[in-house]
C-alpha cells in the first residue's frame, strides 16, 4: 500500500458515496449480516449528518485512499460515544476491493489517534469477522467479552486504554529528564 488515507466528515452532498457503502452486499454482510433497506439507509444517513453537525472530532468520516494526487473513496470510519460502555467507540467499514491491503489497520490507527484524549476506546465486531478481530488485536485492543446485542446477534467488545496526548507529553518529558 503506497497511498495515504484522507478522512473528511460526511455532509449532505455525500449520500451517493454513503449508499455505495451501505448497499454493498459484501461490505454489509461482513458488518451487519445484511444490506440496509432504503428506509434504514436514509434514517442512518440523517443521523450521520446530525452527529457531524455537532462540530467535534466525533462523527462519521468518508475515507479516501490518496495516491499520486488521486483520491478514491474506500469506505467509512467513525468515532461515536457509546453510552452503554461509557467510552468512545470506533467503527469502520471498507468496500471489498480494498480489503486485505492494509487500509483497515491504517484507518483504525487514525481513529485511535483522533480519539486519544479519552482514557479508553471501544470497538464492537461480529466474533466471526476474523479480519476485523485481527486488525483490532494488532492495534492493541483487547477482547473483553462476547455477548448478544439488541438485535439478537453475537457481538464482541474490544477495548484499548490509551494515554492522552497530554499524558504522552508528560511521560516523554519525564523519560527525557531521567536520562539527563
Tens of pLDDT along 72-94? 999 999 999 999 999 999 999 99
Q: What is the CA radius of gyration of the chain?
A: 17
Torsion of CA 10, 15, 16, 18, to 10 degrees: 60
The answer to whether residues 141 and 109 touch, using CB atoms and an 8 Å cutoff, is: no
Going by pLDDT thresholds of 50, 70 and 90, the confidence category of residue 153 is confident
Q: What is the pLDDT of residues 14-41, one digit of tens each?
A: 999 999 999 999 998 888 778 889 999 9
8 Å CB contact between 159 and 128: no
CATH placement of domain 4-179: 3.40.630.30
Dihedral sign, Cα of residue 34, residue 138, residue 102, residue 11: positive
More confident of the two residues 124 and 179 = 124
Q: Which of 46, 88, 45, 64 is closest to 3 using CA atoms?
A: 64
CA 88 – CA 62 distance, rounded (Å): 18
At 10, give phi and psi (nearest 5°): -65, 140
8 A C-beta contact, residue 90 and residue 79? yes
Diameter over CA atoms, the chain: 63
pTM equals 0.86
Distance CA 39, CA 89 (A): 24
Q: Which of the pair, 26 or 117, is modelled with greater confidence?
A: 26
Q: Any idea which residue has 492522552 for its cell? A: 164
Sign of the Cα pseudo-torsion (154, 83, 78, 25, in order):
positive
Element (H, E) at 55: none
State phi, psi for 111 to the nearest 5 degrees.
-65, -40
Amino acid at each position: 500500500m503506497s497511498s495515504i488515507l484522507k478522512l473528511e466528515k460526511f455532509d449532505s452532498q455525500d449520500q451517493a458515496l454513503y449508499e455505495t457503502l451501505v448497499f454493498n452486499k459484501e461490505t454489509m454482510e461482513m458488518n451487519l449480516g445484511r444490506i440496509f433497506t432504503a428506509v434504514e439507509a436514509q434514517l442512518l444517513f440523517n443521523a450521520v449528518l446530525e452527529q457531524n453537525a455537532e462540530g467535534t472530532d466525533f462523527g462519521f468520516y468518508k475515507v479516501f485512499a490518496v495516491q499520486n494526487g488521486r483520491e478514491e473513496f474506500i469506505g467509512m470510519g467513525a468515532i461515536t460515544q457509546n453510552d452503554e460502555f461509557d467510552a468512545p467507540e470506533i467503527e469502520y467499514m471498507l468496500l471489498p476491493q480494498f480489503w486485505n491491503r492494509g487500509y483497515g489497520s491504517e484507518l483504525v490507527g487514525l481513529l485511535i489517534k483522533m480519539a486519544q484524549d479519552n482514557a479508553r476506546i471501544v470497538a464492537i465486531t461480529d466474533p466471526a469477522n476474523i479480519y476485523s478481530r485481527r486488525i483490532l488485536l494488532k492495534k492493541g485492543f483487547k477482547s473483553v467479552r462476547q455477548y448478544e446485542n439488541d438485535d439478537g446477534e453475537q457481538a464482541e467488545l474490544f477495548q484499548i486504554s490509551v494515554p492522552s496526548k497530554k499524558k504522552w507529553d508528560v511521560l516523554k518529558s519525564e523519560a527525557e529528564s531521567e536520562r539527563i
